Amino acid sequence: MKTTLTSFAPSRRAVLTGMGAGLIAGSAGLVRPVWAQAAPLKLGFQLHATGIGASYGRWYQRTADAALKKINEAGGIGGRPVEIVYEDDGTDPARGAEVVDKLNSQHGCDLIFGTLFSHVVMGSAPRAGELKVPYLVCSEGYHVASGALNRWTLQPGITDVRSQISSMAPWVAGNLGKKVTMFFPDYAFGYDHRDFFTKAIEAQGGQVVAQIAIPPTETSYTRYFAQIPAETEVLYHVMVGPGVLTFVKELGEFYGSGAKPQLFGFIDSLEAVDTATPGLEFLEGSHFWEAHPRVKPADAGAAEGDYRAAVGVDDNGASVADAKDVATYSHMFSAWETLYFIKQAVEASGYAGVADRQKLVEAMEAISDLPYGIERPQGAKVFNGKTHQAFGSQNISKIEGGKLVKVHTTTIDEGKYDDAVDYTTMSF
């Protein structure tokens, strides 16, 4: 467990307010700056410090720490300094539920946030609901908006995978081709891609000509490539884990220098992996979905540079301290944006303590527009209070010279779909 409380430097307005209050209090013999009396707002972070999510967890922690520093330097939240308590969940759903307990009951956190892996969210959300503690996840899973969880669980800092996938289909159909063969891992993450992309490409007049599921224990892929129909125009791949390099290498050997379909993948395959890694040459010229472009685009907004500087990421998406330490750039912004969402809701609700948690969730549900700025460096978002899910624009990048170069940005509307749940009608 690690607690982070960065230096609390209040804003000028807070100082003036404090001085005024101090003068009044001073007349009663209580001369102390007002912020010195405020108890810190304690936020629990369910961190994947170990287990399969560790590479994400490391960057999520850096990102949350950077946002925390910025928020505290600007006066904290609602005039209170903010503290983050990190607890490792081992990327394990059983331990995740225990960590929710620990952050709430032992550390006395006001709320909990930061969880990425879907199975940990699924294992932990019931306990958050029982404890009636706001639980803000950063997992991009569809489980929140699907209605599977509860009133206390929200996903305000990242677009869910259903929306991401659906918004890719128009561009893929219009630019790469309409006959698609899909490679996906043979478990829930892969099935989301299979189901949602198949529907989305059909809506564009396209067709998935083959769905090839790869078992999670597979180490060699060549035998699956023989199943790719000759009519395939686009090869859609979402392979993740250590097998990615082998997958790409064997795909390159399969096609050789002959004609090949267009390649389209999700960057999840290559998060924290340098795209110029030997063995990935076959991906040159192929396209990837990115939520937040790893390589700083030429047309990046004003907040992008400030965000990268605060988190310690260079223009190529690697740590400024070590160019080989590539960030999980397309996901980690969610920790940052969720923290700013918490700030907005706490200040809007007048949250003072755990007795106000219900009021806090209601304030979150009332938020809808989340404009672009340093609070949301990935881009503007719309938060749907009924489904507890945020929607933002997505990006498509092309690998050129071993680097990801952004070529297209979708609109928020392209990723919207009909509500499957209205959490606001559920009891707390």
Partner 1 sequence: MKAWLFHLVALAGLAVLAAVLPAYHANNLARVLVLAVYATGYNLAFGYTGMLSLGHALFFGAGMFGAALPVTLWGWGGVPVLALGMLAGGVVAGAVGLLALRTKGVSFMIVTLMFAQAGYLTLIWFNAVTGGDQGLVLPGAARRVLGIDLTQDAPRLWLALGIYAVALLLAVALVRSRFGRIMLAMRENEERSRMLGYNPYAVKLKVLVVSGLYAGLAGAAYGLFFGYAGAGFATVQYSILPMLYSLLGGAGTALGPLIGAAAMFWLIDFVSSLTNAYLMLVGVALIVLVLFAPRGILGFVRERWLPWLP
By CB under 8 A, what part of segment 8-67 binds partner 1? 49-50
Using the contact rule CB under 8 A, the part of the chain among 88-96, 301-309, 320-328, 333-341 near partner 1 is: 88-96
Using the contact rule CB under 8 A, the part of the chain among 118-126, 280-288, 289-297, 382-390 near partner 1 is: 118-126
Tell me which of 10, 114, 123, 157 binds partner 1, using CB under 8 A. Answer: 123
143 or 237, CB closer to partner 1?
143
Tell me which of 19, 23, 188, 302 binds partner 1, using CB under 8 A. Answer: 188
Number of residues that this document lists for the chain: 428
Assign 424 to helix, strand or coil: helix
When asked if residue 102 is in the footprint of partner 1 (CB under 8 A), the reply is: yes
Burial of 245 (0-12, 13-18, 19+ CB in 10 A): middle
Taking the complex as a whole, the smallest distance from the CB of residue 319 to partner 1 amounts, in Å, to 19
Q: At what angle do helices 329-349 and 357-366 cross, to 10 degrees?
A: 110
**Residue 420 φ then ψ, to 5°:** -100, -10
81 or 90, CB closer to partner 1?
90
By CB under 8 A, what part of segment 328-387 binds partner 1? none
Tell me which of 141, 156, 312, 317 binds partner 1, using CB under 8 A. Answer: 141
Half-sphere exposure of 193 (CA within 13 A, CB side): 24
Q: Are 108 and 84 in contact (CB under 8 A)?
A: no
Instruction: Provide the token pair at 228.
Output: 């790719």
Using the contact rule CB under 8 A, the part of the chain among 85-93, 176-184, 257-265, 400-408 near partner 1 is: 85-93
Taking the complex as a whole, the smallest distance from the CB of residue 388 to partner 1 amounts, in Å, to 14
**Count of residues of this chain found to bind partner 1 when the rule CB under 8 A is applied:** 36
Tell me which of 112, 149, 335, 364 binds partner 1, using CB under 8 A. Answer: 149
When asked if residue 218 is in the footprint of partner 1 (CB under 8 A), the reply is: no
Residue 93, CA distances (Å) to 88, 99, 145, 185 in order: 12, 10, 19, 20
189 or 197, CB closer to partner 1?
189
Query: Which residues sit opposite 185 in a β-bridge?
Result: 214
Using the contact rule CB under 8 A, the part of the chain among 141-149, 240-248, 262-270, 405-413 near partner 1 is: 141-149
Hey, what amino acid is at 85?
V
Query: How far out from the chain centre does Cα 78 lie?
Result: 25
Q: Are 341 and 370 in contact (CB under 8 A)?
A: yes
Q: What span, in angstroms and rounded, lies between the C-alpha atoms of 292 and 412?
A: 14
43 membership: H or E segment, kind and range: strand 41-47
Instruction: Summarize as ranges the residues that interact with partner 1 (CB under 8 A).
Output: 1, 49-50, 87-88, 90, 92-94, 97-98, 101-102, 105-106, 118-119, 122-123, 125-127, 129-130, 141, 143, 148-149, 186-189, 191, 215-217
